[in-house]
Each structure stands twice: as C-alpha cells, then as structure tokens.
Structure 1
Amino acid sequence: MYPGAIAAVTPDKPAVIMAGSGRIITYRELDEESNRLAHLFRAAGLRPGDHIAFMLPNHPLFLAVAWAALRSGLYYTPISSRLQPDELAYIVDNCGARAFVSSAELAPVAGSVSAAPGVEMRLMLDGVAEGFEAYEEAVAKQPATPVDDECMGADMLYSSGTTGRPKGVKIPSAHGPLTEPGALLHLVQALFAPSAESVYLSPAPLYHAAPLRYSLTFQRLGATVVVMERFDPEGFLALVERYGVTHAQLVPTMFIKMLKLPDKIRTKYDLSSLQCAIHAAAPCPVPVKEQMIDWWGPIIHEYYAGTEGNGFLYVNSEDWLRHKGTVGRSLLGVVHVCDEDGNDVPPGVDGTVYFENGARFEYHGDPDKTRSARDPQGRGWTTLGDIGRLDDEGFLYLTDRRSYMIISGGVNIYPQEAENVLSVHPKVADVAVFGVPDEEMGEQVKAVVEPVSMAEAGPELEAELIAYCRERLAHYKCPKSVDFREALPRHPTGKLYKRLLRDEYWPVRG
C-alpha cells in the first residue's frame, strides 16, 4: 500500500496531524502533494537513482517530501535541523543532492547551500530566501497525478565516518513498484499488529531513522500519524488521550521524563487506547523499564537495529522481565558474537556483535568504514561496532557502545567532530571527548583538555572552549563541561587511551 491507494478509498482520512498546531494533512492531500513534487523533480531532470536532500523541522509536509522522493525512485537524505551551516553544506555536497528543500524557519542555516554547485533546484517552504524558489508556487504548477515512471526510492541517512565526518548509509534500491512491501512492513505487522484504524504517535524529530521509517510504514497501512513538533512529557500523555493513540515509539530519555512527572499528572490522562509502546535507539536502564511496565502494563516492546538495516533483534515485556537488560533475540540476520579474529565466542563472553545474512549496505564514499563493518574472515557478516554477549537462549545483552559513540537522549553523537574542532583552538594542546553518565539523557558530552598552559585552566577557559565549539558545530554535539589535565594518556605511537579517561567517569559499567 501507499498514499495513492489509501487516498482512493479514504481520501479525507487524516494522514498527518500536527500535535501543536492541529493542522491536518489528509491522505488525498498527501498523495497530491507528493505527486506534484515528484513531477517537479522529473521536470528538473531527476531520474531514478538520483539524490535529493531536505532540512526541515517536524513540518506538516515533511512526510510528503519523503513520499515524493520515494515514489520517484530517488535516494533522499533528511538532514538534522540542528546542524550548523558548514555541517549542512558538507552533507548536501557529499550525498550528491541535485535538489534541496528547506523552510523559512531554517533560512539562516539553509542559505549555506544557496550557491552549492551540484544543487540544481532549491525550494523553500513558508517563505523565500536568496537562492531559493518558493516551494508552494513551484509545486502548485505540477499535476496531482503520479509520474509515468513511478518506482520505489530509498533513504540514505547519515552516520559517522572514519574522519569524524558523517557518512551516508546507502542501501541498494531496486526501483520496484510502490505496492511491494519491504522487510520493515512485514516486521511491524508481525510484531505490533497495526491496521488502518491505528493512530501512531511520533514524538521525535522525523529526520532520525526510526521516526521517519515507522511513520512512513504506518501510512502504508492507512493509519494516522500524529507528529509532535517537539517532545513534552505531559503533552505526550495528553495526546494519547486526545487522539486515542494506539502505537508510539520513544527513547528511554522520554520514559525518564514521564516518570519524573508528579503522580497527579501521570494519573490524569486516560492511556487505555495505547496498545504498543516501542523503544529503541539507546539502552534503557533496567529500573526505568521496570517502572514503565508497572505503569503501562506489558505493552512495552524493544528492538535493537541500526540505520544500516543489517539485523533486527526484538523482545516483548514478558521475555524482558525474564531476561532483564536484554535487547532481544534476532528476527532478522543470524547473530554472532566474535573475538578480535572473528571467531565465535561461547555464551556469556563479550565480543563484537555481527549479523549474518543481513541486508547489504555501504557507507557512501567511505570504503574504509564499509570494510571495517565486515567480519575479518570475509564471510560477509556485518557489524554496527557494538560489544555484547549472548545467553544460552540467544538473548543479546549490550555491554558497550560502538567505538566511543555517545548516545544522549536517543541521539547519536560522534565525539571526533568536537575533538577536531577543539584540537585547533590555540589554547588546547590535546583533547579527548566522550560520553559521561547523565541521569536524564543517558549520557552527556564531556571534554578533557590538556591546555597549553595549566595556569589558564579553569572556568573561564571552560566557557571559552564550549562557546568556541558551539560556534562551529550543532550545540548538542558540543561538550557541556570541560575538565583539565596536565597530560592525556597516549601511547608513544600517538594513540589516545580514551578508555582510561572514560572509565574514571563510569565507576560501574555494564
């Protein structure tokens, strides 16, 4: 199924409801809007296999832009609305985008691609900035019927590269028919039993993999997707009651914020419509999940997967209560836990987690990173770089994160980017950036700096370095605090022993 098929049967049914404004996009509007934009892409010369990018907040037309690319056979890259101009320009250039869509709200940042040489079409919603066409005017001129060569496209979302720069996760697209169901649709139907009557609440930014892919999947079934412009714990509960929400996907930070609400607020709203609360993106502390199951009942579902789509593990509430701390058993791809030579280790022993028979993928323009995701014995197994162990029943427990990546509130942060910025500051001799415990967000970004002069170490230099980083990177990637050391632990070859530093801030791990 896809919006055109849904619109033919229930044209006036809400496809999108914006939680804050209440604006509704019906299935007819979603179908016609995505068709018009698809025609505009064709008029600009884009053909199946070409690439577009867009940078939008949680906008009423966000999913329409994604559907336009999907039904045009294009690769599309949604970009975080929190990035700085240089970061945005890099991704647009790296992915080879020939068209770019943004909104007037983000014009100060979006303007960084106004003269990008490879971008042939620039559209702006809700206003116009220099170098951009008005989206509404350009799209209105196009027909609302499907393009003649309609076929399935794919997303290309960005992860980290070996240099600290993000890299696109590219999954081969066969340009099949839109009616062809994908693996995610089969999984969602089998595990969470959605239907055309379902109401899916998406509280996270849509540029992330899970919110985007699950919202599109629920729309394939004809369900209504309620989109929060930004997460608010009480607001989430109120929306469940208001719209009779049946399904939602969250991250553990959201659980924590809701659990911190006063009892009179937590018990104020009727949550009886909620059939399924899905969580992923970051490990959930055992006490937090125990409290959520006590509160909402055994409707909490967890999965472990990556943007790469090479594996999928799942656990329901009942199994989790018998295997507390697990991220589930494999439903897609055979799981192997291996030592450094790629040999399987026994149950209970930590090692790198690999998937056999998972989906093919590559990191766009980064053959070294692509190669590093393959097992050392050349069997075609792939890894997300996480460390874990299996028990005798095949349940996986993660004991470490992929190499030094920070997960704060379910958002992946790659410390190399902040290290690259801070290392060139004139008062910094050496720097290490990593995650430290944060009760609410899971982790927060910490920098440990070896200053050129210890005499300057202190609050003023700390504030200066944080401000310096924030001028060059999205704020969430920058350290919230800075500690100073006379020297950082490095091997004579130059390798930084970052683990030694991190362990000082993590007295209990695992």
Structure 2
Amino acid sequence: MSGLSYEPLTPTSFLERSAAVFGPRVAVVDGDLTLTYADLWERVRRLAGALAEQGVRPGDKVALLAANGHLLLEATFGVPAAGAVMVPMNVRLSAAELAYILGHAEASVLLHDDEFAGLARAAAADSGRKVRLIAAAEYETLVAAADPQLVPVADELAPLSINYTSGTTGRPKGVVYHHRGAYLQAMAMALHTRLDVTSGYLWTLPMFHCHGWCFPWAVTLAGARHVCLPKVDPGESWRLIREHRVTHLCGAPTVLTSLLAHADAPAAALSPRLLACVGGAPPSPALLGRAMRAGIDVLHLYGLTETYGPAVVNQPQPGWSGLGVEELAALAARQGVGNVVAQRVRVVGEDGRDVPADAATVGEIALRGNDVMLGYHRDPEATALAAPDGWFRTGDLGVLHPDGYVQLVDRAKDVIISGGENIASVEVENVLVGHPAVREAAVVARPDAHWGEVPVAYVALAGAADVTESELIAYVRDRLAHFKAPKAVIFGELPKTSTGKVQKNVLRGRAGR
C-alpha cells in the first residue's frame, strides 16, 4: 500500500510526536534522573545509532533484561527505531530459562541493568549463541557517543518484538507482536484509561510483561509522565503517588492488595484521583469493594501475552454510577467486552459455535483482532493449534452474560497464575521428577489471599527413598525462578483414572480445602 493517505503504523511515532508537541515537559522520572520528552527522543535516536554501530541490522533480535527504569523504557522505543526486534525478558527467571529464550529468539545483543550482570553472563554463556552483552554503564557511554539514527518502518505488520510466556506447556513460547498491533493497542489503553497530558503513570507493572500492557507507548502518546519504580514497594509507591500526583497504575490484584494493606494507604480519595488498572488474574469483588471505599477507581482488564495484554475491558456503563459498592464490585469483577481495537469477544463450545448469552453455559473464550499476535516464533504447529479457525483460543473458560460481558469461571486447568505470573505446572513437575527420590509429581494451584494462587506439589516417592518438603522446594528453587517453586509438598500416592492419568481435578479439590 502506498500513497498520500497511508503511513505504516509504529508505536515509535508516538514519541516523535510528543517530543515535537511536549518537548520541554517532563517525560520520565527515574530516581534522581529526570528526562523531558525532547531528552527522551534524543536518547532513543542515539540508542538506535549505537545499536547500528554495534552491528545490529534491521530484523536482528535485541534482548532486554532490566527493571522498570529509563534504560528499559528507552529500549522499548530505541530497539524498533533501529529496525530491530525486541526480546524483553523476565528478570525473575533463572539463568537456564533465560538462556533458552536467548537461543530460541536468536538474539545477538542483550541490554541489561548492572544488577543483572551475573545473570546475563550466565544466560549468554549457556545460550549456544554469541551474544553481545551491554550493561547499563556501557549503555550510557554508547548512547552519549553515538550519532542519532532512525530506521523507517516499511511494513507495519513486520515483527516488533518477541514476548516469551510459559503458557500451558513447560517450554516457553515466543509470542510475536507487530508494529500495527502495538500502535493500536496503545491507543486503546490511552482511550479506555483516559490518559492525557496531565496524567502521571506509576510503573508498578513490569515493562517486560507484554511491554507493560503497551503502556510505555500509551503514556507517551498522551504526553503524560512516566514515574519509574524498579520494584513494587507499597510505601515507596504511596510516596511517589503523592509526590508526583500519580493518576494511573497497573498490576495484578496482588499489587492492589499490597497497596491497600499498607499504613500509607488513603482513607479517602486522593487529589487527583487514582485509577488502578487490574488484570493478570481475576480480582475478587471484595478487593474491588475495598479499593472503591478508599476512593480508588478500578478498571478490570483481561488478556494474555498473545493479545498484547488487555484485549478485554470491563467497560463501565453510565447506569452503574448509582449502584451500591457491593453491586458495582460484582459487575466490575467480570472481564468485560472487547476493547476499541478488538473484535467482539466470543465464548465458544467444543463445536466452535457461540454458546448462549445466558450467564450459565460455559465455553472457551476466543479472541480476534489487530491486537492478537502474528503467531509463535519458530513454532507454526502451536500457532495453528492456538487459532484453528482464525479465532485465538485463550484456554480460559467463561460464560457470556446477556449484556455481552464475558466472565471467567475457570482457566486452563494446568496453568497457575500467581501474582499475575503464569506458572506451567508441567515445567515444575518435570523438575521435581528429576530428583532421585521422586517417582511421580503433580502440581496444582492452591488459593492464596495475597498471590491469588500459589503452586502446591503432590509427590509420590520412589520406593524407600526419603526426602523432606524443604529439600524438594529448595531443589526446584535451584533450577527455576523462585516464584515457580511449590509453597507446599504433600507426600502420598496420586489419584488416577482407570487409564492411569493423574486426576488433577481431585488434587485441586484437596488443595482448595
């Protein structure tokens, strides 16, 4: 496509515009560092030039391992500005897990914070690739010395990034985003959350997770202020919220739970009012009610890595404003409807047809639209399986209400969502059975007041072997990210069907007691 009426969409263009329109305004607050929009755009262009000088060519993969700060924010714009493909990585993963991602993504460069230098070296050494490591100190030197460059985007459907998620299998899958999807999803987030030039956004959500639900670009397109927070700390969060007049934040329900439980939580609405966007796991009506009583507005969002984050939004209706807290919280706990760039959310039966909108018939939630991935990197079979008829199957079960709002009633059985992080049970099981004392293992979710869910392991020992609960937990923590390790281990024979399949539904029932 060409002509005067067409320009390829890319989220990097939001920063270029904001630098021109809001140049002197503060764009980033990161500890003692403050950057204006003009500063941010200059640094991003220099980063693009620095990457080119390091041999990065259009289409090359650049991995990122950093906490929420100016380095990761700049790279979110600077890597695509160089024509390269971003590979953001979860800083909580083990070196072995990161090594797999570096190898599978075919990364050639890894930008990282200094605090993750050891982890980065170990991951790169075990990746099977030659990876150029650039720590924060060298990053600053390279950016300062480089000439500004910008590689124009020719194809808006070209890969922008590869985001890895464990999904429902032990091996992480690389979810490929395109420029068009990120551009449109950012606009949707800005519209639904009413971001504008007076807004302040606190980074309680990791930027490495679905690119922070596309809020790096959404905040920037609005000309709002990024307030960086490397690690969620409730006391520090409330200090920054008050000092910088923060109006928006995002996170899993556990983030909101921690904020509300802190001594510095407000007893009444702050000025300006705070909007908490909650997703990653279904928030309970009780949590939503507590937030409302504290004067915090809550917007419930739903999505997956495969959908650029929130593809579904609990769109408030005008008639809801007069409802009581309990009734409003019950409505807000539903996942909602497709956002403004998504298609209608469907709930389908096993035959692929829509289930009745009766709030009772259960089916699988299916999504489609500009904010659905291109596919899984180097995995055409998994891509075809995920969207057998052009509609992405989320693996989550839900019902459709008569008003068109979808509500989750269960999720893919073997995925545990703890604090907004996906844990593939089979991955943990595979580690457990690697212990010489373990014959069989099954991992399921147990409800948790703080994390929403935590993993619990049921283990059958091999013969007369002997091992303690604490030894097995430590064994897993040595091999996987710590949050994936079971919080409890129960020893005994595993319940099975007549065909020898472990009855995880029985174990989930036991864990929920």
TM norm structure 2: 0.87
Residue 268 to residue 355, structure 1, CA distance change in 2 (3 Å): closer
Tell me the SS of whatever aligns to 2:258.
helix
Q: Is the 8 A contact 2:285 2:329 kept in 1?
A: no
- Give the Cα separation in 1 of the matches to 2:129 and 2:169: 23
Residue 141 to residue 405, structure 1, CA distance change in 2 (3 Å): same
For residue 154 of structure 1, report the CA deviation from its aligned partner.
1.7
- Structure 2 residue 422 is matched with structure 1 residue 412: yes
Match for residue 131 of structure 1? none
- Give the Cα separation in 1 of the matches to 2:367 and 2:229: 34
For residue 426 of structure 1, report the CA deviation from its aligned partner.
0.1
For residue 78 of structure 1, report the CA deviation from its aligned partner.
1.0
Q: Is the 8 A contact 1:63 1:216 kept in 2?
A: no
- Give the Cα separation in 1 of the matches to 2:253 and 2:464: 39
287-296 or 117-126: bigger deviation:
117-126
- Give the Cα separation in 2 of the matches to 1:275 and 1:468: 42
Q: Is the 8 A contact 1:238 1:269 kept in 2?
A: no
Cα RMSD for the two superposed structures: 2.5
Match for residue 123 of structure 1? 134
Q: Is the 8 A contact 2:348 2:354 kept in 1?
A: yes
Residue 11 to residue 186, structure 1, CA distance change in 2 (3 Å): closer
For residue 150 of structure 1, report the CA deviation from its aligned partner.
5.7
Q: Is the 8 A contact 2:23 2:36 kept in 1?
A: yes
- Structure 2 residue 139 is matched with structure 1 residue 135: yes
Residue 324 to residue 301, structure 1, CA distance change in 2 (3 Å): closer
For residue 148 of structure 1, report the CA deviation from its aligned partner.
5.1
Match for residue 261 of structure 2? 260
- Give the Cα separation in 2 of the matches to 1:441 and 1:181: 29
- Give the Cα separation in 1 of the matches to 2:266 and 2:124: 50
For residue 22 of structure 1, report the CA deviation from its aligned partner.
3.4
Task: Return 5+ residue gaps in structure 1 as ranges.
Answer: 127-133, 175-179
Q: Is the 8 A contact 2:68 2:229 kept in 1?
A: yes
Match for residue 352 of structure 1? 364
Match for residue 166 of structure 2? 160
Match for residue 177 of structure 1? none
- Give the Cα separation in 1 of the matches to 2:302 and 2:134: 36
- Give the Cα separation in 2 of the matches to 1:463 and 1:423: 16
Match for residue 329 of structure 1? 337
The letter for the 2-side match of 1:386 is D
Match for residue 474 of structure 1? 481
Q: Is the 8 A contact 1:57 1:229 kept in 2?
A: yes
- Give the Cα separation in 2 of the matches to 1:394 and 1:202: 32
The letter for the 1-side match of 2:28 is V
The letter for the 2-side match of 1:267 is P
For residue 328 of structure 1, report the CA deviation from its aligned partner.
0.9
- Give the Cα separation in 2 of the matches to 1:55 and 1:384: 27
Tell me the SS of whatever aligns to 1:2.
helix
Q: Is the 8 A contact 2:120 2:133 kept in 1?
A: no
- Give the Cα separation in 1 of the matches to 2:64 and 2:410: 33
Taking the TM superposition and a 5 Å limit, the aligned residue runs for 1:31-430 are 31-115=41-125, 116=127, 118-126=129-137, 134-143=138-147, 145-147=148-150, 149=152, 154-160=160-166, 163-173=169-179, 182-209=183-210, 211=212, 213-262=214-263, 265-267=264-266, 271-296=270-295, 299-309=297-307, 312-316=311-315, 319=320, 320-321=328-329, 323=331, 325-331=333-339, 332-346=342-356, 347=358, 348-357=360-369, 359-375=372-388, 379-430=389-440
429-438 or 112-121: bigger deviation:
112-121
- Give the Cα separation in 2 of the matches to 1:245 and 1:139: 29
- Give the Cα separation in 2 of the matches to 1:188 and 1:206: 15
- Give the Cα separation in 2 of the matches to 1:368 and 1:433: 26
Q: Is the 8 A contact 1:202 1:215 kept in 2?
A: no
Residue 86 to residue 110, structure 1, CA distance change in 2 (3 Å): same
The letter for the 1-side match of 2:283 is C
For residue 408 of structure 1, report the CA deviation from its aligned partner.
1.3
